[in-house]
Amino acid sequence: MIRRLGPAAALLAVTVACFTAAPALSQGNLNLGVTMLTYLAIAQAWNMLAGYSGQVSLGASAFVATGGYATGLMLAHTGLSWPLAFAGAAIAATALAVLLSVPLLRLRGDYFAIGTLAISIALQSLISNWPWAGGASGLVLPVGGLPSGGKLFQVAVIVAAAATAVTLYTRQSGFGLRLAAIRDNEAAAAGLGVSVYRHRLAALLVSSAITGLAGAVVAFQFVVVSPDGIASVNWSLNAVLMTIVGGAGTVIGPVIGVLIVYYGLTWELQNQQTFSQILEGLLLIAVVRFAPRGVWPLLCASVRRVSDFRRTGAQEPAGEAPVTEDELSKDLV
């Protein structure tokens, strides 16, 4: 029971702490926090889709863009309040996922990856040709009606917490086990009575809704939605990069990934973008080659090896590793 509820309680505690700390943070820190929480939400959503259900997507940016543009269009053209526009982002992203699920769920493995990549690029060029959404130069949101500062940070905390909670639920529930079964051996899972289509669809819809919400946060933060910004493929690429570096198919992995990739490589090296991208590329190759499960499971394994007996309730996150290693298929990155 403690094993099941411990991580959830920890997540709740961290969320409440971040939520109440918001007024005390400086504007610069809030801004950094919002960016990292957004990345975390997108990475967790991708983690659920790729890490647990085995559907490697290269199209997260399509849902970031849909969420962001839905929010932006509602605020700019209808004068609704931002919470409604925020909810609209999740609805729009889910609707897109429902629409795309018809062709997408016919695809598997690399075909799914390439299909999602094609969608995101097609959407980006569609938006560029859509005058009502501002065309190639994008759409500016009415600044007055947007959450900013501490309030925006709190919104970002909620989105990231929801994303992490979904991953945690997936990890601990029968639903997640069935997803993993489909990921590891679709025919066997179907033979045991798991509805492959329904489970893959559920993972896709939930993941898309969260990514759409993250897109709304991006729109609030940037104040402008444009094809080159919010619809950029970089969102998809970063989701993959962060999750795989940290550890796909684990709850903590994406957190570590965001810290390493965004805080370590992007933020700290923001004046040397080229150098930072070289490091990102090398890191990704090195992780896939030498630590295919990611940094977090590697860390857990080495901690366990050093002190097998010291693993107590206080180091609960380390308890994630044994289950993960059994669950995570060799087929997964």
Partner 1 sequence: MNLATLAAGILTGGLYALIGLGISIVFGVLGMMNLAHGEFVIGGAYLASLLVIGAGWDPLAVLPLAMIAVALIAYPLQRYLLTPLLRASKTAPLVATFGLLLLAEALFQAAFGSHPKSLPAPYAAAGISVFGIRVQAVYLIAFALTVVLCAATHLLLTRSRAGTAVRAAAADPETAAILGINVGRVYAMTLAGAAALAAAGGVMTGVAQSFTPTSGLPLLLTGFAVMALAGIGTVGGVLLAGVTLGVLQSVAVALFGGGWSDVVVYLAFFLVLAIRPQGLFRRGATA
Query: Rule CB under 8 A: which residues touch partner 1?
Result: 56, 102-104, 106-111, 113-115, 117-119, 121-122, 125-126, 128-129, 136, 233, 237, 240-241, 244, 274-275, 277-278, 280-285, 288-289, 292, 330-333
Residue placing its CB nearer to partner 1 in the complex, 168 or 239: 239
303 burial (CB, 10 Å; 0-12 / 13-18 / 19+) is middle
Residue placing its CB nearer to partner 1 in the complex, 274 or 312: 274
Give the Cα-Cα-Cα angle 251, 284, 111 (nearest 5 degrees). 80
Shortest spacing between CB 115 and partner 1, in angstroms: 5
Hunting for tokens 């969102």 — which residue is that? 235
Residue placing its CB nearer to partner 1 in the complex, 50 or 213: 50
Instruction: Give DSSP secondary structure letters for 235-260.
Output: HHHHHHHHHHHH-TTSSSHHHHHHII
Shortest spacing between CB 130 and partner 1, in angstroms: 10
Shortest spacing between CB 143 and partner 1, in angstroms: 29
Residue placing its CB nearer to partner 1 in the complex, 167 or 276: 276
Shortest spacing between CB 128 and partner 1, in angstroms: 6
CB neighbourhood size of 13 (10 A)? 10
Calculate Rg over the CA atoms of the chain.
19
Shortest spacing between CB 119 and partner 1, in angstroms: 6
Shortest spacing between CB 184 and partner 1, in angstroms: 12
235 burial (CB, 10 Å; 0-12 / 13-18 / 19+) is buried
CB neighbourhood size of 108 (10 A)? 14
In our burial notation (b when 16+ CB lie closer than 10 A, e otherwise), range 157-189 reads bbbbbbbbbbbbebbbeeebbbbbbbbbeeeeb
Shortest spacing between CB 116 and partner 1, in angstroms: 9
Residue placing its CB nearer to partner 1 in the complex, 13 or 136: 136
Instruction: Give DSSP secondary structure letters for 259-299.
Output: IIIIIIIIITTTT-HHHHHHHHHHHHHHHHHH-TT-HHHHH
CB neighbourhood size of 256 (10 A)? 20
Residue placing its CB nearer to partner 1 in the complex, 104 or 203: 104
Residue placing its CB nearer to partner 1 in the complex, 31 or 234: 234
> Does residue 51 contact residue 250 with C-beta atoms inside 8 Å?
yes
Shortest spacing between CB 124 and partner 1, in angstroms: 8
Beta bridge partners of 225: 139
Residue placing its CB nearer to partner 1 in the complex, 59 or 72: 59
> Does residue 325 contact residue 297 with C-beta atoms inside 8 Å?
yes
Residue placing its CB nearer to partner 1 in the complex, 12 or 275: 275
CA proximity to 74, closest of 235, 215, 205, 207: 215
Shortest spacing between CB 290 and partner 1, in angstroms: 11
